[in-house]
Structures are given as structure tokens and as C-alpha cells.
Amino acid sequence: MMVTVVPHVDELKSDQLVHKTIVVIDIFRASSCIITALAHGAAFIRPAETVSEARKLAGKRLLTGGERYGKRLEGFDLGNSPSDYTSDKVNGRGIVMTTTNGTRALIKAGRGTHVLIGGFLNAAACALSTKNLHRDVLLLCAGTRGEFSLEDGVAAGCLLDRMQTLDPSVHCDDLGLALKNCYLSCRERLFETLSLSQSGQRLTGKGLQRDLRDCLQPDRYRLVPRWQEGKIVCE
């Protein structure tokens, strides 16, 4: 198995989606919210690229969740903090989600055959799913507004570490190797390291340190969200 890393969504080329397992990573905070929502019983998440599209898709039946530039959207039921997606709010419900970076990456990756959502929260489970699919893997870091985000890259390194633990024959590109080594060097102090990233500093500045901690808990959940006909469901 060969693992390739794309540093942010604007670097993704359509031919990279062919015959691969795609893992979308947006640690702060779309991936983490999606994993948490499904772990707490949400029926599905439907990504929307724009706020108006999200409102239209939701209608009166579905919950709405998301943000723009880190701010909760007016009139939406849920924000973009994992702690918003508790069982009492989301169990059995469908959710339409739109975010600045993550949902755009999901929609772009959705043209692939096998699309998973990964992060620190489900790293081991996601690595096992990629192994069982028997395809080369593309780790797609969402990034932030067309730029690389450290937290997504370190999470890609974490996923790669889990993959190679399961199967030492897994190979990776140079970026993957660098990110794995970055993860190994900071895995005992993830919060301290990633709170210094640009995204981490923005969240801290908004008083959202809890979000950082909620997103940076390796292997908290055993589930793997996957793309299925325009929706994200539990694998």
C-alpha cells in the first residue's frame, strides 16, 4: 500500500481520486465534529458548500450545524464545536453541515470511490479501515483558506503511524514521512504543540480551548465515518 499526503484541498487534483481510499482530515473542527456526532447517534451528516445551500437542504426536518471563519452561524441549531454534538441533541437526527474548509474538502473528495473521515479521535479505527479496503491511500488535509494547517498534517502523520503499525509494508511519500516524524516528536504534548498553530491560536483567542482538547484525543472512538451517496454515515 502506498500513502500520499495532500497538504490542503486546493492542491487536490481529480486524477488523485482514482482507485484510492481518500481520508479527509480537518481537525479544527469539521472532522472532529462529524466523528463526535456519529458517535453520539446522529443518523447522518450531509455536507453543504454554502450557508444558503445548507438552509435549503435542511428544511424543517434536519438539524443545521457549522461555521464561517470560526463563528457560529446565525439561526443554526449547532456550531462547530464537538461539545455541541451531544446525544440529547443529535441522536437519531440528520444534520446538514457547512464549514469554511472541511465541508469543501469533503465535497471535492466525494467524487472518489471510497471516502473516509479521519482524525485523532478515530486514528486507529481509520487505519484499520484503510487496510481492509486494500487500496492505495490519499490523506487529504483540508487546510485553512488554501494553506497548510499544522494540526491536519500532524493528524495525517498519526494516521500513517497507525497504518504502518498494522502493516509495516505500507510506504509513503516524503511529505508523509515528514509528518509522521512530526507526530512522533510531539505525540506526548499534542495540546501544547497544536495550540501554537495558527488555527490553534485563533481558537484560543476565541476562548475555545475546550475544542482543542476535544479534537486532540487519539483513538477516543472506534467508528469511521464514510461518504455514501452525498451523505456521511457510520461505517
Q: For residue 69, what pLDDT is reported? A: 86
Alpha carbons 38 and 223: distance in angstroms, whole number: 8
The partner residues of 139 in beta bridges, in order of sequence, read 5, 23
Q: Which tens digits make up the pLDDT trace of 28-66?
A: 999 999 999 999 999 999 999 999 999 999 998 999 999
Amino acid at 116: L
Range of the domain at 207: 2-234
Give percent above pLDDT 70 in the chain: 100
Q: Any idea what the CATH number is for the domain that residue 117 is in?
A: 3.90.1560.10
Burial class (CB in 10 A: 0-12, 13-18, 19+), 4: middle
How many distinct structural domains can be found in the chain? 1
Q: Number of helices and strands (H, E) in the chain?
A: 10, 11
Which residue is it, cell 500532524?
154
Which regions in the chain score pLDDT beneath 70? Answer: none
